[in-house]
Amino acid sequence: MNAHDGGTPGRQDARLEVWAPAGLGEVRPGDDLATLVGDLLAGEALAEGDVVVVTSKVVSKAEGRVVQAADREQAITDETVRVVATRPRPGGLPPLRIVENRLGLVMAAAGVDASNTPEGTVLLLPVDPDASARALRTAWRSRFGLDRLGVVVTDTAGRPWRDGLTDIAIGAAGVAVVDDLRGGVDAHGRPLSVTVTSVADEIAAASELVRGKATGRAIAVVRGVGRFVLAGDGPSGDGPGARTLVRPSADDLFREGSAEAYARGYAAARAELSGEAAPGSPR
């Protein structure tokens, strides 16, 4: 996929290239993912400032996050830190659960995946996606002799107020995950006070357009976002990671589903009238 705009007179056009090489094959627990993907990328002529996007599914498989789970619902429960909302589903299906998982991510089913994994097993998210991204970045920078190389690990999630799914960044290394425009001005000279763009999520979503969900293409390369790609080793080169994109609880205006918030408020009011503390209320 190529995308570019008309640019500004006297300036070079902005251009974005995203492609997904085929041929990775099935990844199994214990596989050396850095080598497998590195072999795939060997013919892609990676350049300084490129970002390699990897789905969490193949990272999880390589890291042995395939677990026996005849009962997927129990696996979801085990990965759940906090229930945000639960809704019944028709046809005898298990209820839909939106929960916070061990990574702090709020998503359906805690990110537990039963697709493209052997019968009787489920796939859990990587234990530390940022660490996984850092390890891959280290291996590929060395193999391809690149200094500025980014890695983003993605997973699929829904969003409040919007139908449909999109890929988001759950792990990142070598990428400035946000572009903080606060303190600058817009094209008309007005000050920007709230605009912080989630660069890592935008890279993740762009990659899904060429990878698809059923094509077997788990890897993509994004070129044209080099201004957000970091150089060097260590923390300064790896960057803050995607974990920093998780909104702190104190700033989360949508910490509960509407029905759950109503039920808690109703219980609190009844408890106040009866002189008792409501379940889950501060004491």
What's the confidence (pLDDT) of residue 260? 86
Residue with tokens 């046809």: 91
- Of 161, 160, 163, 138, which Cα lies nearest the Cα of 150? 138
Look up residue 80 and give its two tokens.
Answer: 């759940």
What's the confidence (pLDDT) of residue 11? 52
What's the confidence (pLDDT) of residue 7? 40
How far is Cα 207 from Cα 249, in angstroms, rounded to an integer?
29
Q: Is the pLDDT of residue 3 over 50?
A: no
Q: Is the pLDDT of residue 114 over 50?
A: yes
What percent of the chain has pLDDT above 90? Answer: 60
Q: Is the pLDDT of residue 182 over 60?
A: yes
How far is Cα 160 from Cα 198, in angstroms, rounded to an integer?
16
Domains by residue range for the chain, with CATH: 13-64+128-246 (3.30.1330.100), 66-124 (3.90.1660.10)
Please name the helix (run of DSSP H) or strand (run of DSSP E) that holds residue 100, with its range, or none: strand 96-101
**Greater model confidence, 257 or 170:** 170
Expressed in angstroms, the distance from the first to the final Cα of the chain is 56
Please name the helix (run of DSSP H) or strand (run of DSSP E) that holds residue 221, with its range, or none: strand 219-223
**What is the gyration radius of the CA atoms in the chain, in angstroms?**
21
Interstrand relation of 80-87 and 96-101 (parallel, antiparallel or unpaired) = antiparallel
What's the confidence (pLDDT) of residue 149? 98
Q: How many CB atoms lie within 10 A of CB 233?
A: 11
Mean pLDDT of 213-235: 91
Mean pLDDT of 111-134: 90
Per-residue DSSP letter, 216: S
Q: How many residues does the chain have?
A: 283
What's the confidence (pLDDT) of residue 280? 57
- Of 161, 155, 135, 176, which Cα lies nearest the Cα of 51? 176
Task: Using pLDDT thresholds of 50, 70 and 90, give the confidence band for residue 283.
Answer: very low
What's the confidence (pLDDT) of residue 136? 98
Q: Which of 66-70, 142-146, 261-265, 277-281 has the lowest mean pLDDT?
A: 277-281
Under 8 Å between Cβ of 175 and 51: yes
What's the confidence (pLDDT) of residue 278? 56
Interstrand relation of 2-4 and 15-19 (parallel, antiparallel or unpaired) = antiparallel
Mean pLDDT of 42-64: 96
**Greater model confidence, 173 or 91:** 173
